Amino acid sequence: MLLVGLAAMIAGCTLLAYATHPAVAAVSLVLMGVNFGVSWPGFNALIATVVDGEIRQQYFGINFALVNLGIGVGGIIGGFFIDVDEPATFTTIFLADAAGQLIPMALLLGPLRHVRTQGGDDDHPDDGDAMSYRAILRRPAILWLTLLTFIAMFIGYGQMEAGFPAFARQVSEVSTQVVGFSFAVNTAVIVLLQFTVLKLISGHRRTRVMQVMALVWIVSWLILGATGLVPDSIAAAIGVLAFMGVFAFGETMLQPTVPAMYNDLASDRNRGRVNAVNAAAFQGGAITGPIAAGLLLGHGWHAGYIATMVVGCVAIIALAIALERRVPATANGVPEPSTPASPSPMPTPTSEPS
């Protein structure tokens, strides 16, 4: 599935490099979207097959830091290389993107070709019905986790594309340069703090980590809301930068825990579909978040926008508390207590010879 997604990405980037009509560009973006839709559950399932236990959570965290590092480095390279007066620079970048997909493709065909992501028929004989999405969502732990993921994406990444920049420009009245620097702060905090956070959360209940993450996000949204009280000022600019830094700190807690919990709740036979449910919740929140932001900010309900984000964070805390009652301890990041060995019986005293 990953190879199919990478092939679609190569075709989409190549087509986009030479697109001279909106329809052609639309087709290329659809092909790139196919890759993103396929690669998320496929890649997470592949990771969960290779690593398990506490290492799985650590790997998801490291992967998140590396993704952000790649986004940051790619953005810097693109910013220096791209020239809007030279269309050939765009063509070169898109062709380089297409060529870059050959590296993971080579890894999948080489070192990873023997990784087996599907269990045998006898591995989980009681999972016959679990292959349907309806049966997966009927599991209380997965249902509550999916609701939590959707809300987290709705008030989180769903706002990074539209709500946050709109609020920063319209309400805080900071420059576009400040908004751009804030995304750089976000990336830097994730890359620099992810490894430290992984050590701090290791061995703790993932649901408790989610609650701390929601509290951190409440602080971040209140900071952003406060910038609206001092628009077009240095304080507003500092507040916008601080918002993204604090928000990124919360992200370092979210990204290792949620995918690890999904995969600890899955079996090899339904791992792909469980990760697809995770991806659908993520994308659903990322799609509906900007719509809600547009409606709230478009009507001038600036305080209502911040209040909605805070209420969403409170909802995450409530869902995490409910989830903790339904998820097994091992899937919640807490190893099952080992059964203490029974003490050996005392030796029967024997009379010594006189």
DSSP string covering 303-344, please?
Answer: HHHHHHHHHHHHHHHHHHHHHHTTS-TTTTT-PPPPPPPPPP
DSSP H stretches of helix in the chain: 2-17, 22-50, 53-81, 87-100, 102-109, 133-138, 140-155, 157-160, 163-170, 176-201, 206-227, 234-265, 271-298, 302-324
Residue 48 has what pLDDT?
Answer: 82
Residue 120 has what pLDDT?
Answer: 52
Looking from the CA of 334 toward its CB, the CA atoms found within 13 Å total: 13
Q: Where are the strands (E) in the chain, listed by range?
A: none
Q: Mean pLDDT across the stretch 198-203?
A: 88
The C-alpha atoms of residue 229 and residue 231 are separated, in whole angstroms, by 6
- What tokens were used for 319? 């869902």
- pLDDT tens-digit map of 312-329: 999 999 999 999 999 988
119: confidence class by pLDDT, cuts 50, 70, 90: low
Which distant-in-sequence residues (6+ apart) come within 8 Å of 188 by Cβ?
72
Comparison of pLDDT for 5 and 62, the residue scoring more: 5
The C-alpha atoms of residue 222 and residue 292 are separated, in whole angstroms, by 18
Most confident of 107-116, 216-225, 339-348: 216-225
Nearest CA-CA partner of 46 in 59, 35, 36, 34:
59
Angle at 30 between CA 28 and CA 34, to 5 degrees: 115
Give counts: helices (H), strands (E), the chain.
Answer: 14, 0
- Output the pTM of the full model: 0.81
Q: Which amino acid is at 134?
A: R
Nearest CA-CA partner of 263 in 254, 272, 255:
272
Q: In 3-state terms, what secondary structure has residue 89?
A: helix
Residue 354 has what pLDDT?
Answer: 37
> Does pLDDT of 347 surpass 70?
no
Residue 337 has what pLDDT?
Answer: 58
> Does pLDDT of 103 surpass 90?
yes
Residue 46 has what pLDDT?
Answer: 85
The C-alpha atoms of residue 61 and residue 251 are separated, in whole angstroms, by 10
Residue 117 has what pLDDT?
Answer: 62
Q: Are 316 and 184 a contacting pair, CB within 8 Å?
A: no
- Percentage above 70 pLDDT, the chain: 90
336: confidence class by pLDDT, cuts 50, 70, 90: low
Distances (CA, A) of 266 to 86, 116, 241: 49, 15, 38
Comparison of pLDDT for 325 and 344, the residue scoring more: 325
What DSSP designation does 41 have?
A: H
- pLDDT tens-digit map of 252-311: 998 889 988 998 888 878 888 898 999 999 989 989 999 999 999 999 999 999 999 999
Q: Mean pLDDT across the stretch 56-69?
A: 85
Residue 54 has what pLDDT?
Answer: 74
Q: Mean pLDDT across the stretch 154-183?
A: 90
Nearest CA-CA partner of 281 in 132, 137, 139, 171:
137
Q: What domains can be seen in the chain, in order of their start residue?
A: 1-112 (no CATH), 133-332 (1.20.1250.20)
Residue 339 has what pLDDT?
Answer: 45
The kind and range of the H/E element at 150 are: helix 140-155
**Lookup result for tokens 């000022």:** 233
Residue 35 has what pLDDT?
Answer: 92
What DSSP designation does 131 have?
A: G
> Does pLDDT of 176 surpass 50?
yes
Residue 243 has what pLDDT?
Answer: 96
Q: Are 7 and 108 a contacting pair, CB within 8 Å?
A: no
The whole-chain average pLDDT of the chain stands at: 86
Comparison of pLDDT for 151 and 331, the residue scoring more: 151
What length is written for the chain?
A: 354
Phi-psi region of 342 (alpha: psi -120 to 50; beta: other; left: phi over 0): beta
> Does pLDDT of 90 surpass 70?
yes
The C-alpha atoms of residue 5 and residue 45 are separated, in whole angstroms, by 14
Q: Are 146 and 137 a contacting pair, CB within 8 Å?
A: yes
44: confidence class by pLDDT, cuts 50, 70, 90: confident
